[in-house]
Structure 1
Amino acid sequence: MVFKRRDRRSLLQILTELVYPRGGWGRAFLYVQHRVRRLPDTPERIARGIWAGVFTTFTPFYGLHFVVAFLIARMIRGNILAALSGTFFGNPLTYVPIGIISLKTGYFFLGTKFDEGRHRSFFGKFADASRDLKDNIVALFTHGQPNWEGLRVFYHEIFFPYLIGGLLPGIVAGTIAYFLSVPVIRAYQHRRRAKIKAKFEAIKKKAQAEADLGAKAD
């Protein structure tokens, strides 16, 4: 096949590059930044898309961030591709601080706190919820009894506080990204148009000079 990789990656390499991409996160960030700036749209629409993507990373819908960013971008008339690229703000280097900020803000707004010893640890609650979800799906097709306790604890102590607490920091981070993006994208587009115009002018002058030489030769 024409589009297959020549160097087939192992499963370990694929998983490793999800956590730390080839060339590092700095290079990956520059690549995404370059692609976003070259999008054929107005700076404001692109920046609104970035807002949607950055805001989405503060929501607890892991695995669905592309879908959430797409829907939000459609609602605020932002650029869809910019929104999907904006979700790059959430990565293995930022998910931990984003999660801590969102959860602590959620506990503050709800007047609660995370009691690790009450039920299970933070990661234990994730594990319990995942196990309940798997077991309950299996129970639909067998004679097993569904158990929602792990999911109930996860919803009340993790998911809902995260959802509520991520709203404010998500809006703040998205708005900062918006106002930083607009002038940068506008300046880039002006420079790009100027370069294209200069290139066409050079081609035009070259063609005119060749035409003048041909006329003189005749």
Structure 2
Amino acid sequence: MFKRRKKRAVVARVREAFWPSLGWARWVEYFRHRLGRMPGTPYAIACGFAFGAAISFTPFMGFHILFAGLMAYFARGSVLASAIGTVVGNPWTFPFIWLGIFKLGNLILGVSAEDLQTHRLSFGYLLDHPWEVFLPMAVGGVTVFAPVWAAFFFPLRRAIAGYQHRRFLRRQSKTMERARRAVEVAAGRTRGGRR
């Protein structure tokens, strides 16, 4: 029903991932409405989204949606919101995330800055020494998981609660207006019948 008539080419889909055709402001607005209108409590939606965002700070590429969904499920959060939350990890943010958790992981593991200088982080180095890259990233990612989760959960829960409340009031106002009009119409018919 909501599918495109003409499928987009692979190049167009890749371009869309890097630069939304709607523009960044409308893209953010779309996700704001999408989250606010999701079924569930503000806790469930915010919890799920926060797990998706936090798992994006780990090096488990390819498993982000699966792990976020499992964690959201066990925490009674929204699994759908957790999938949407993984959007935090995207082509624009991943380079900064990976470099940050790599450096943090090395700091925690006690790798000196001089050792890091001798091994420049490159694709070749990653292929030759995968464990020396993955382990620090995993340690750094797990370390920032809880703070990232909290940074997304608390503001988002409040924002979603406000959004849902305003939406409820708008719907209630429309319902009351329709009821008032129906009463006026019924009253007009009654008066007309008495005459």
Q: Distance in 1 between matches of 2:53 and 2:90?
A: 11
Which residue among 127, 138, 143 is the counterpart of 1:163? 138
Q: Which residue of 2 aligns with 1:76?
A: 75
The answer on 1:185 being equivalent to 2:160 is yes
Cα-Cα RMSD: 2.0
Q: Distance in 1 between matches of 2:139 and 2:41?
A: 32
Q: Distance in 2 between matches of 1:11 and 1:162?
A: 30
Instruction: Give the secondary structure class of the aligned counterpart of 2:90.
Output: coil
Q: Distance in 1 between matches of 2:104 and 2:52?
A: 20
Instruction: Give the secondary structure class of the aligned counterpart of 1:166.
Output: helix
Displacement, 1:86? 0.9
Displacement, 1:173? 1.8
Give the TM-score, by structure 2 length.
0.88
Offset from partner CA, 1:68-95 (integer Å, 9 cap, x none): 1101111222111111111111111111
Displacement, 1:32? 1.6
Offset from partner CA, 1:135-163 (integer Å, 9 cap, x none): xxxxxxxxxxxxxxx4xx202x1111111
Which residue among 144, 147, 166 is the counterpart of 1:172? 147
Offset from partner CA, 1:18-60 (integer Å, 9 cap, x none): 2222223433222122101111211111111121011110111
Q: Distance in 2 between matches of 1:203 and 1:53?
A: 40
Q: Which residue of 1 aligns with 2:130?
A: 154
Give the TM-score, by structure 1 length.
0.80
Q: Which residue of 2 aligns with 1:198?
A: 173
The answer on 1:39 being equivalent to 2:14 is no
Alpha-carbon distance change, 53 to 115 in structure 1, aligned in 2, over 3 angstroms:
same
Q: Distance in 1 between matches of 2:61 and 2:117?
A: 22
Q: Distance in 2 between matches of 1:8 and 1:186?
A: 36
Q: Distance in 1 between matches of 2:90 and 2:177?
A: 44
Residues 19-58 of structure 1 mapped to structure 2, 5 A cutoff: 19-58=18-57
Q: Distance in 2 between matches of 1:73 and 1:4?
A: 28
Q: Distance in 1 between matches of 2:161 and 2:189?
A: 42
Gapped runs of 5+ residues in structure 2? Answer: none
Indicate if the aligned counterparts of 1:102 and 1:162 stay in contact, CA closer than 8 A. yes
Displacement, 1:211? 0.7
Displacement, 1:7? 4.1
Q: Which residue of 1 aligns with 2:122?
A: 122
Q: Distance in 1 between matches of 2:47 and 2:2?
A: 33
Indicate if the aligned counterparts of 1:50 and 1:178 stay in contact, CA closer than 8 A. yes
How many positions carry a matched residue from both structures?
A: 191
Q: Distance in 2 between matches of 1:180 and 1:200?
A: 30
Q: Distance in 2 between matches of 1:112 and 1:194?
A: 56
